[in-house]
Chains A and B, each alone.
Chain A
Amino acid sequence: MQTSRAPGVAFIFKKALISALVALVLFSLMIGVRTEAGSDGQLTYWTRFGDLAMMVATVFGGSIVVELLRQWWGPVGTVRVVPPQVTSALSFAGRLVAPVLLIFTFLVPVIFYNERYILDLGILVLTYVMLGWGLNVVVGLAGLLDLGYVAFYAVGAYSYALLATNFGLSFWICLPLAGILAAFWGVLLGFPVLRLRGDYLAIVTLAFGEIIRLVLLNWQSLTGGPNGVTGIPRPTMFGIPLSPGDDGLAAKLGIEFSPTHRIVFLFYLILALALLTNWVTIRLRRLPIGRAWEALREDEVACRALGINTTTTKLTAFATGAMFGGLAGAFFATRQGFISPESFTFHESALVLAIVVLGGMGSQLGVALAALAMIGGFELFRGLDQYRMLVFGMAMVLLMIWRPRGLIGHRAPTVFLERNQAISSDLVKEGHG
C-alpha cells in the first residue's frame, strides 16, 4: 500500500554500501588485526583480512535484508486494524495463559522427572521469576529505578550461607532471617536515596550494589573473599534430610532413594517462594500501601499534596522488594551449596531489570514470561560459549527497539470505576524515582 513511497533498489543499495563502509572502518583494526602477548610478554599482532571481509559482507547483506523487511512491514506507526473477533479471541486466550502456565509449571517435575537438565533450568527460570517479581515491586509499582537489586540477593545468600555454616542453623530458620536482613539493608539503602530522583537514584543503587559486592570480595575473614563460602547445607523437608541415610526422607517413606528427589523438592520450594512473592504483591497492591506505591510512581508531587507519606512509601517499597530478593538469595545459596561474589555482579542486576522492563513493568504475567524468554533464550545459546553474551546483548537492544514497553504492554488497573478497562502502558510514567 506504500508502493509510491517505497524507495527503489538504488536507495537500498546505497544504504547498504554506506553501512558496509562504516563497518569496514569500525572493524578494520578490531577484527582485521589481532594482538596477543607472546610468551616473553612482548605483544605481537597478525592480520585477519578474511574475517574482516566476511564481517563487512555480512553487514552489507544484513543491511539489505533489514531494509527489505522494513519495506515489507510498512512505515513505523502504521495502525494495523485487528478485527474485533480476533481481539476478543486473543483476550480470551490471554486470560487463559496464566492458569495454563501455572498448571504446566506444577506438572514440570512430573513430566520431566528423568530430565535433570530441564528441572535445573526450570529452577533457574523460577529463581529469576521470583527476582523479577521482587524487583517489580520497586521498579514496576513504586517507580523507583533500582540498578543494584543484586545486592539484596547477595545479602540473602550470604546470610543463609554464613548462619548455616557458622551456627548450624537450619534452612527454615534462616530463610525468614535472610528475608529480614535483606529488608533491613533495603531500608538502609532507602534512607540516603529518599531525596534523590531518577538517574541519581539509579547511580546510588548501582554504587550500593558494587559496595556490597566489593565488601564481600575483600572481607576475607568473614566471607572467604573470592573463594566464597563452601559446604552450605542442603535444605531439609522441615527437618527430614533428603539424603540416602536411614533418617532420610526416602527411608522414612519406604521408597528407594534417588538424587532427583532433592531437585524436585527444590523445584517446588522455589515455585512456592515465587508464588508467595506473587500473592503478597497482588494483595499489597489492593492495600493502601500498594495504592500509595502506584500513586508515587505516577506523580510524587501530587502524592505529597494528597497527604501520602512518601518516606514510608519509598522505604516499604525498598524493604519489600529487598526481602523477596533476600529470600531468593537464600534459596540460591542452598541450591548451589557454594556461593562467591562472582555470582552477584552488576550483570545480574541488569538481567533482572531487563526482565522487569521486558515484562511490561507492573504486569506479573509479563515478568514471568520475560524471565522464561530471557533465561530460556540464554540457555539456548549455551553452545555458542563466548558469543553468548554478545548474542544476549544484541537481543536486549533489539527487544527494546521492537517492544520498548515490554512484551505485555497492557495491564488491568487495580482500581476502576464501573468498568475494568485495560490501561496501555504508554500512559504510565515509570521509573521516575
Chain B
Amino acid sequence: MDYFAQQLINGLVLGSIYGLIAIGYTMVYGIVGMINFAHGDIFMIGGFIALITFLILVSFGLTAIPLILLVVLLVSMAITALYGWTVERIAYRPLRHSFRLAPMLSAIGMSFVLTNYSQVAQGARVKPVPPIITGGYTLHEGSGGFVVQLSNIQIIVVITTVVLLALFTWLVSSTRLGRDMRACEQDQTMASLLGVDVDRTISMTFVIGAALAAVAGMMYLLYYGLVDFFMGFVAGIKAFTAAVLGGIGSLPGAMLGGLLIGLIETLWSAYFSVEYKDVAAFSILIVVLIFLPTGLLGRPEVEKV
C-alpha cells in the first residue's frame, strides 16, 4: 500500500508536467485545428533556457534559491514564448488557409529544425545539474521500513501546475483575450467580422502554449536534473497522447489526460517493467479510443454532408 501511495505521488507529479505540455497541443488544436508537432521541442528549448539562465545566475554569485527560481521561470517563459511566436510566424501562418496536411508537415519539419538546432548549438551530450531543491517530508513510515516521501520539488511542481492552471482557466474564461480565443475556436471568419484580430489571437495562443511548455521544461529540469536535445520528441508524443486521451480541444481533458498518462507510466514501471512503460501508455490510448473515439472529455465531431 505504501509503495502504491509513493508511486501515486510520483505519477501525479509526472502527469502534471505532461499536462502542462498537453495544454499547448490542445489549445492550438482547438483554434487552428492542426497538430503542432514542434511543441515538444518548444518544451525542450524551455528546459535548455532554464538551464542556461540558472548557470549564469549561479556564476554571478546569486544564492537565494527562491529568487533564482523566479528569475529562471520568467526568463525561460519569456524567451520560449518568443520561440513559439516565431515558429507560428515562420512555419504556420503562411499555411493558414492551405489544406490540412501542409501545416502538419511544416510542423514536423520545424520539429526537426528545433531538435537539431539545439543539438548544434548546445552539443549532443546530456546536461546534468546538481539537485537545486532538496529536502522533503516523510508522510508515512510503513512497518516494512518503506517510507512514503513527498519531496519539496514534487510539492513545487504540483503547486506551480495548480496555480498556472487556475491562472490559465481565468484567462480563457474571463479576459478579452480568452473570449477572442473562444470566438476564433468557433468560427474564425465570424470572429474577424466582429472585430477580433484572428492573427493576433492565434499568435497569442502559441505564445501562451509555449510559455506553459517552458514551465514544464523548467519543472522537468528541476525534477530529473537533466536536459538533452532529444527529450522533446518523447515528451511531446506523450503529451500529445495525453491531449488526445482527454479529448483534443478540451482544456480540462488535456490535464486529465496528462495525469492519466503520468500515472499509467509510473505504475506500469513500478509493477511490471520499465522497458514497456511507453508501450503501456500508447496501448491504453488505443484502447480508450476504440471505445471513446473522441477521447474522454472530447465533443463528438458532427459531420454534415
Residues of chain A whose beta carbon lies under 8 Å from any beta carbon of chain B = 22, 25-26, 28-31, 33-37, 41-43, 45, 145, 192-193, 195-200, 202-204, 206-208, 210-211, 214-215, 217-218, 299-302, 305, 346-347, 350, 353-354, 357, 361, 386-387, 389-390, 392-397, 400-401, 404-405, 426, 429-432
Residues of chain B whose beta carbon lies under 8 Å from any beta carbon of chain A = 29, 35, 45, 48-49, 51-53, 55-56, 59, 75, 79, 82-83, 86, 90-91, 94-95, 98-106, 108-123, 125-130, 233, 237, 240-241, 244, 248, 273, 275-276, 278-279, 282-283, 285-287, 289-290, 293-295, 301, 303-305
Which B residues are CB-close (under 8 A) to A387?
A: 116, 120
Which of B94, B122, B244, B279 is the one whose CB lies under 8 Å from A199? B244
- With A30-B117, A33-B52, A145-B101 already in contact, the answer to whether A393 and B286 are too (CB < 8 A) is no
Q: Is B116 touching A36 in the complex (CB atoms < 8 A)?
A: no
Which A residues are CB-close (under 8 A) to B125?
A: 36-37
Q: Is A45 touching B290 in the complex (CB atoms < 8 A)?
A: no
- With A28-B79, A196-B293, A211-B282 already in contact, the answer to whether A389 and B112 are too (CB < 8 A) is yes
Which B residues are CB-close (under 8 A) to A218?
A: 273, 275-276, 279
The smallest C-beta distance from A188 to any residue of chain B, in angstroms, reads: 11
Q: Is B237 touching A210 in the complex (CB atoms < 8 A)?
A: yes
Q: Is B106 touching A199 in the complex (CB atoms < 8 A)?
A: no
Residue of chain B at shortest CB distance from A196: B293
Which B residues are CB-close (under 8 A) to A30?
A: 45, 48-49, 52, 117-118, 121-122
Q: Is B305 touching A301 in the complex (CB atoms < 8 A)?
A: yes
Q: Is B117 touching A200 in the complex (CB atoms < 8 A)?
A: no
Which A residues are CB-close (under 8 A) to B98?
A: 404-405
Identify the 3 closest CB pairs spanning chains A and B, nearest first. Answer: A396-B109, A393-B112, A393-B113
For the complex with contacts A45-B55, A386-B120, A404-B95, 6 further pairs of A-B residues with Cβ separation under 8 Å are: A33-B52, A215-B279, A301-B303, A350-B112, A390-B117, A401-B91
**Bound Cα distance from A103 to B224, whole angstroms:** 57
**Bound Cα distance from A197 to B303, whole angstroms:** 11
Q: Is B127 touching A397 in the complex (CB atoms < 8 A)?
A: no
Which B residues are CB-close (under 8 A) to A202?
A: 35, 104
Which of B56, B100, B273, B289 is the one whose CB lies under 8 Å from A204? B289
Which B residues are CB-close (under 8 A) to A41?
A: 128
- With A195-B290, A214-B279, A386-B120 already in contact, the answer to whether A400 and B127 are too (CB < 8 A) is no
A-B CB contacts (within 8 Å), total count? 198
Residue of chain B at shortest CB distance from A189: B286
Which A residues are CB-close (under 8 A) to B237?
A: 206-207, 210, 346
**Bound Cα distance from A201 to B107, whole angstroms:** 17
The smallest C-beta distance from B203 to any residue of chain A, in angstroms, reads: 13
Which B residues are CB-close (under 8 A) to A196?
A: 289, 293
Q: Is A207 touching B286 in the complex (CB atoms < 8 A)?
A: yes
Which A residues are CB-close (under 8 A) to B105?
A: 350, 353-354, 357, 396, 400
**Bound Cα distance from A389 to B233, whole angstroms:** 15
Which B residues are CB-close (under 8 A) to A396?
A: 105-106, 108-109, 112
16 A-B pairs (CB sep. < 8 Å): A29-B48, A31-B121, A33-B55, A36-B123, A45-B52, A45-B59, A197-B293, A200-B244, A200-B293, A211-B282, A214-B279, A215-B279, A301-B304, A350-B112, A354-B109, A400-B103
Q: Is A35 touching B127 in the complex (CB atoms < 8 A)?
A: yes
Which A residues are CB-close (under 8 A) to B106?
A: 396-397, 400-401
Q: Is B90 touching A397 in the complex (CB atoms < 8 A)?
A: yes
Which of B113, B275, B285 is the one whose CB lies under 8 Å from A394? B113
**Bound Cα distance from A256 to B27, whole angstroms:** 66
- With A354-B108, A431-B100 already in contact, the answer to whether A389 and B116 are too (CB < 8 A) is yes
Which B residues are CB-close (under 8 A) to A430?
A: 99-101
**Bound Cα distance from A180 to B283, whole angstroms:** 24
Residue of chain A at shortest CB distance from B114: A393
The smallest C-beta distance from B186 to any residue of chain A, in angstroms, reads: 18
Which B residues are CB-close (under 8 A) to A197?
A: 293, 301
The smallest C-beta distance from A61 to any residue of chain B, in angstroms, reads: 17
Residue of chain B at shortest CB distance from A209: B282
Q: Is B95 touching A390 in the complex (CB atoms < 8 A)?
A: no
The smallest C-beta distance from A375 to any residue of chain B, in angstroms, reads: 15
The smallest C-beta distance from A425 to any residue of chain B, in angstroms, reads: 8
The smallest C-beta distance from A138 to any residue of chain B, in angstroms, reads: 13
**Bound Cα distance from A432 to B104, whole angstroms:** 13
Residue of chain B at shortest CB distance from A31: B121
Q: Is A35 touching B51 in the complex (CB atoms < 8 A)?
A: yes
- With A35-B51, A214-B279 already in contact, the answer to whether A397 and B248 are too (CB < 8 A) is no
Q: Is A204 touching B286 in the complex (CB atoms < 8 A)?
A: yes
**Bound Cα distance from A342 to B77, whole angstroms:** 34
The smallest C-beta distance from B110 to any residue of chain A, in angstroms, reads: 6
Q: Is A390 touching B116 in the complex (CB atoms < 8 A)?
A: yes
Q: Is B290 touching A400 in the complex (CB atoms < 8 A)?
A: no
Q: Is A22 touching B82 in the complex (CB atoms < 8 A)?
A: yes
Which A residues are CB-close (under 8 A) to B121?
A: 30-31, 34
**Bound Cα distance from A377 to B286, whole angstroms:** 36
Residue of chain B at shortest CB distance from A210: B282
Which of A203, A353, A429 is the one whose CB lies under 8 Å from B241? A203
Which A residues are CB-close (under 8 A) to B110?
A: 393, 397
Which A residues are CB-close (under 8 A) to B102?
A: 357, 400, 404-405
Residue of chain A at shortest CB distance from B282: A207
Which B residues are CB-close (under 8 A) to A302?
A: 305
